């Protein structure tokens, strides 16, 4: 098996699914503030997905060896690296939280996540969130036909480690389409010029998890899902779903509320991305 090339019809369907996944995050954004519980966020997301005509890809999701995932989305707070399960604990001033939304529209999957700063956050927390966002875009900027997966991982690793942070190795980006997790694995570390060559029509996520402290992670509690940093340091993550185009890339998980790319991403009306 290798990475699939999507048909023009598949690409059109992915544009729709991914925009809808991004619009769920737009909808949730004003609700994500001190005092709200992650379970309330989950409930609002479920209601909004029903209105937009999508289905959560995460609820009941059960890869081999896991219990069925119980949330319509993932909420990973502070030292939680990923797969945090919505619960009754209110978000509090100074928390950082990743909200990861994957929807299914007409059988096609759109996957994205953003970080949210709850009230006033420390300088250290804001720097981690911002560096992680830029690290995701350093990876995205590598995407074009002829580049290799190792170029993406290397760009992310070099940038994040250069800022004094560490890259989680146990989880990675992934191909996506009519299944949630397809080939290839998109590592967020690596060596330039290695691994699979990118071709137009491939679609995959880039979703680096970056820790303020050491890179090691562990399972938390016994829910079978929640992953935390071993040293309890803060962790951040951003995620987009990306199409390889003839000339570069197209970010599919964009909508009105998406954060603009960092300044080092060159876009102009004369050379669209």
Contact residues: ligand MF3, CB under 6 A: 58, 61, 69, 74, 83, 100, 102, 111, 205, 207, 225, 239
Q: Which window, 53-61, 65-73, 131-139, 197-205, contacts Co ion (CB under 5 A)?
A: 197-205
Q: What is the distance between the alpha carbons of residues 3 and 204, in angstroms, rounded to a whole number?
A: 9
CB of 242 to ligand MF3, least distance (A): 13
- Secondary structure (DSSP) of 112-171: EEEEEE-SS--HHHHHHHHHHHHHHHHHHTT-STT-BHHHHHHHHHHHHHHTT-EE--S-
CB of 117 to ligand MF3, least distance (A): 21
Q: Contact between 100 and Co ion (CB under 5 A)?
A: yes
CB of 13 to ligand MF3, least distance (A): 19
217 Cβ contact partners less than 8 Å away, ≥ 6 residues apart: 81, 168, 170, 211, 227, 228, 229, 230
Q: Which is nearer to Co ion, 240 or 246 (CB)?
A: 240
> Binding partner of residue 225 among ligand MF3, Co ion, none, CB under 5 to 8 Å per kind?
ligand MF3
Residue in the structure block whose two tokens are 């951040």: 236
Number of chain positions touching Co ion (CB under 5 A): 4
- Secondary structure (DSSP) of 23-46: HHHHHHGGG-STT-BHHHHHHHHH
CB of 39 to Co ion, least distance (A): 19
Residue in the structure block whose two tokens are 């029903």: 50
122 Cβ contact partners less than 8 Å away, ≥ 6 residues apart: 94
Q: Which is nearer to ligand MF3, 121 or 182 (CB)?
A: 182
Strand, coil or helix: 256:
coil
Task: DSSP letter for 67, please.
Answer: P
Q: Which window, 93-101, 126-134, 156-164, 219-227, contacts Co ion (CB under 5 A)?
A: 93-101
Taking CB under 5 A as the criterion, the residue among 111, 151, 182, 250 binding Co ion is 111
Q: Which window, 82-90, 114-122, 145-153, 238-246, contacts Co ion (CB under 5 A)?
A: 238-246
CB of 74 to ligand MF3, least distance (A): 5
CB of 85 to ligand MF3, least distance (A): 8
Q: What is the distance between the alpha carbons of residues 204 and 272, in angstroms, rounded to a whole number?
A: 20
């Amino acid at each position: 098996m290798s990475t699939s090339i999507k048909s023009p019809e598949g690409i059109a369907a992915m544009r729709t699914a991914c925009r809808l996944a991004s619009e769920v995050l737009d909808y949730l954004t004003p609700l994500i503030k001190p005092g709200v519980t992650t379970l309330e966020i989950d409930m609002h997301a479920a209601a909004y997905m029903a209105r937009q005509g999508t289905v959560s890809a995460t609820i009941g999701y059960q890869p081999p060896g896991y219990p069925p995932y119980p949330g319509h989305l993932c909420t990973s707070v502070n030292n939680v690296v990923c797969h945090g399960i919505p619960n009754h604990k209110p978000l509090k001033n100074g928390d950082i939280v990743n909200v990861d939304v994957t929807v299914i529209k007409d059988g096609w999957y759109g996957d994205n996540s953003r970080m949210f700063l709850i009230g006033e956050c420390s300088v250290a927390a804001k720097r981690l969130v911002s560096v992680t966002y830029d690290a995701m875009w350093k990876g995205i900027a590598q995407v074009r036909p002829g580049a290799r997966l190792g170029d993406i991982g290397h760009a992310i690793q070099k940038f994040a480690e250069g800022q004094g942070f560490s890259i989680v190795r146990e989880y990675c980006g992934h191909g996506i389409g009519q299944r949630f997790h397809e080939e290839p694995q998109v590592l967020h570390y690596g060596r330039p010029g290695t691994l699979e060559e990118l071709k137009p029509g491939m679609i995959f996520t880039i979703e680096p998890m970056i820790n303020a402290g050491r890179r090691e992670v562990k399972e938390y509690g016994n829910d079978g899902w929640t992953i935390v940093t071993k040293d309890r340091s803060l962790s951040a993550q951003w995620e987009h779903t990306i199409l390889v185009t003839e000339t570069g890339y197209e970010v599919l998980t964009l909508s009105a509320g998406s954060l603009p790319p960092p300044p080092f991403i060159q876009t102009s009306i004369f050379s669209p991305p």
